[in-house]
Chain A
Amino acid sequence: AQSVAQPEDQVNVAEGNPLTVKCTYSVSGNPYLFWYVQYPNRGLQFLLKYITGDNLVKGSYGFEAEFNKSQTSFHLKKPSALVSDSALYFCAVRGLYGNNRLAFGKGNQVVVIP
């Protein structure tokens, strides 16, 4: 079965500092990995995905993520955090072809301090 672990409940970062949100995954075969962001009382917004190819994936709003197969990680990063980046971030994994369900982590609350 596929699963995702997001080890930190909350990440606090000062505005302008680099932001990292951690994610590790477990899946049979090659993973399809995703990051979503959720603002209060809103649905999930797609940020970026890794399917294959370059290990550094660039996404929306200046976010990027690095796929590391040996460490089974897919950490989300942003070089300079904004107050508006404060939200709930979810990592998700999809496994083998034909298994299209997304397995989500429990989420990380990011708080960017002005």
Chain B
Amino acid sequence: DAGVTQSPTHLIKTRGQQVTLRCSPKSGHDTVSWYQQALGQGPQFIFQYYEEEERQRGNFPDRFSGHQFPNYSSELNVNALLLGDSALYLCASSAGQGNEQYFGPGTRLTVT
């Protein structure tokens, strides 16, 4: 049984560019959450998707957007990249919105 998978593993982008990160949830999970983990910090909640809709959102600007597909996989899009967007982006899935979240290995984004 595959756990949560994310792609790509690493990504280097230039300021102003746009990026798309992808996540496939653990089998049987229907809810996907995205977190940003800056170096030396704990993960910060970006948003959560359930039934293909954004259900909750953290304190992140509109440059951060997402999508959930019918197969429960999800994408995180970041527009107009800033240097400060450099971080590890973690995807977490759960069976329902209230259950424990299982995390993927993350995508390391570097903005130069």
Q: Do A and B come from one complex?
A: yes
**Which residues of chain A are near B102, meaning CB under 8 Å?**
46
- Report Cα–Cα, A91/B63, bound state, in Å: 28
**Which residues of chain B are near A101, meaning CB under 8 Å?**
33, 45, 48, 56, 58
- Report Cα–Cα, A18/B106, bound state, in Å: 31
- Report Cα–Cα, A4/B106, bound state, in Å: 22
Stretch of A37-45, A63-71, A78-86 that contacts chain B = A37-45
- Report Cα–Cα, A105/B42, bound state, in Å: 6
- Report Cα–Cα, A24/B40, bound state, in Å: 19
| A100 in contact with B105 (CB, 8 Å) | no
- Report Cα–Cα, A103/B35, bound state, in Å: 10
Interface size on B, residues (CB 8 A): 26
B76 within 8 A of A: no
| Contacts across chains A and B counted by CB atoms under 8 Å | 58
> Can you list, as one digit per residue, whether each of A71-114 has a CB less than 8 Å from chain B (1) or not (0)?
00000000000000000001010000111111111110000000
- With A100-B55, A100-B97, A101-B56: A43-B42 Cβ-Cβ less than 8 Å: no
CB distance from A104 to the nearest CB of B (A): 3
Q: Which of A41, A92, A99 contacts B56 (CB 8 A)?
A: A99
**Which residues of chain B are near A45, meaning CB under 8 Å?**
103
- Chain B interfacial positions (CB closer than 8 Å to A): 4, 6, 31, 33, 35, 40-45, 48, 55-56, 58, 90, 92, 97-98, 100-106
Pull 7 A–B residue pairs with CB atoms less than 8 Å apart, ordered by A: A43-B90, A44-B92, A44-B103, A92-B42, A101-B33, A103-B45, A106-B42
